[in-house]
């Protein structure tokens, strides 16, 4: 009787063990019954199944990596480059993933690789080499990730998390690299010459405007000076006329004194004059 009870207990324990399974954190599971998928996408925790009939397959749902050998591509100019890249991916639809790869990671990466390579080839074929070297990598990886992700989700149940280009090498170092740098140098030189030409044009415009303003200012100043001199001469003539009208003899005397000062002021001048000259009038006739 005791042995029968122990047998029953053992059977119940075996039944309980085969009726439950645990999905760990970072995993997802697939439930099969006679090779047919019954349920997919289990969350972490304790789960139930029909004992001895249903089978559980567990898969890593964390981010996985794909790193391949450098691949040769042609640019839009038909120049050959070697592209080294890597891919980060994870399972998105476990049922589709199982159906496409049988649940084997190596089979999944084997089918994922050509999808990414085709997307890269399309982008490289559409771009010139100097753009790829200068600033085109971020745009390329974004486009490749979007295109490869759509294809991988629909055919493999895989989500492409990220695509990165590690390096672009040149098989024909002496020819390709030199031509790329020459083209980039020519473009920068063209930009520099254009900037210099614009600066020279702006400088000529500024100098011409400054010369024009200078001429205008000088003309205005000369006009104002002529006006001031004319007014001064008129005022002086008016004063002379008034002085002459009040006392002609005194006016003639002061004018003669000014003439003497101008003639003999430096002390070294020599004048040959007629003694009866008007200039010597006040020397000869002190009265």
Q: Which domains are seen in the chain, by residue range?
A: 2-60 (no CATH), 64-171 (3.30.479.30), 257-287 (no CATH)
Cα first-last separation, the chain: 180
Mean pLDDT of the region 22-50: 74
Q: How many residues does the chain have?
A: 287
pLDDT tens-digit readout, 211-235: 888 888 888 888 888 888 888 878 8
Residue 180 has what pLDDT? 63
User: Rg for the chain (alpha carbons), in Å?
Assistant: 53
Percent of the chain with pLDDT over 70: 71
Between 263 and 210, name the one with better pLDDT: 210
pLDDT tens-digit readout, 12-21: 555 554 566 7
Cβ neighbours around 212 below 10 Å, total: 10
pLDDT tens-digit readout, 130-154: 777 766 677 788 888 999 999 999 9
Torsion over CA: 188, 190, 194, 197 (sign): positive
- Would you state the structure tokens that stand for residue 109, as one six-digit string? 């990466």
Residue 242 has what pLDDT? 74
pLDDT(252) > 80: no
In three-state secondary structure terms, 284 is helix
Q: Which residues pair with 160 in a beta bridge?
A: 89
**What global pTM score does this model have?**
0.52
pLDDT(275) > 70: no
* Residue with tokens 């289990």, as numbered in its chain: 42
pLDDT tens-digit readout, 146-202: 999 999 999 899 999 999 888 888 775 545 556 666 777 888 888 888 888 888 888
* CA dist 284 → 73, 252, 264, 281 (Å): 119, 15, 17, 5
**Mean pLDDT score across all residues of the chain:** 78
Between 245 and 95, name the one with better pLDDT: 95
Residue 27, phi then psi, degrees to nearest 5: -120, 160
pLDDT tens-digit readout, 64-96: 888 888 888 888 888 888 888 889 999 888 888
* Residue with tokens 């324990």, as numbered in its chain: 13
Percent of the chain with pLDDT over 90: 9
Residue 149 has what pLDDT? 92
**Cβ density class 234-245: b for 16+ within 10 Å, e for less:** eeeeeeeeeeee
Residue 185 has what pLDDT? 82
């Amino acid at each position: 009787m005791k042995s029968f009870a122990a047998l029953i207990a053992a059977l119940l324990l075996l039944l309980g063990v085969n009726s439950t399974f645990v999905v760990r954190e970072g995993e997802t599971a697939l439930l099969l019954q006679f090779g047919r998928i019954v349920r997919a996408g289990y969350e972490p925790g304790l789960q139930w199944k029909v004992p001895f009939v249903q089978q559980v397959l567990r898969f890593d749902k964390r981010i996985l990596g794909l790193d391949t050998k450098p691949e040769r591509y042609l640019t839009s100019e038909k120049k050959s480059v070697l592209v080294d890249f890597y891919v980060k991916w994870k399972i998105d639809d476990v049922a589709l993933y199982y159906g496409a790869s049988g649940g084997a990671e190596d089979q999944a990466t084997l089918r994922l690789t050509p999808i990414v390579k085709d997307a890269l080839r399309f982008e490289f074929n559409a771009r010139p080499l100097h753009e790829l070297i200068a600033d085109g990598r971020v745009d390329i990886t974004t486009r490749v990730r979007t295109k490869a992700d759509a294809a991988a989700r629909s055919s493999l149940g895989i989500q492409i998390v990220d695509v990165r280009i590690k390096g672009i090498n040149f098989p024909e170092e002496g020819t390709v690299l030199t031509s790329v740098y020459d083209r980039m140098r020519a473009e920068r030189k063209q930009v520099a010459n254009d900037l210099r030409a614009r600066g020279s044009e702006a400088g000529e415009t500024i100098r011409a405007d400054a010369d024009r303003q200078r001429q205008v200012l000088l003309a205005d100043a000369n006009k104002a000076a002529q006006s001031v001199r004319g007014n001064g001469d008129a005022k002086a003539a008016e004063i002379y006329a008034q002085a002459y009208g009040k006392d002609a003899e005194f006016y003639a005397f002061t004018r003669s004194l000014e003439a003497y000062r101008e003639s003999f002021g430096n002390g070294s001048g020599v004048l040959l004059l007629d003694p009866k000259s008007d200039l010597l009038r006040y020397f000869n006739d002190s009265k």
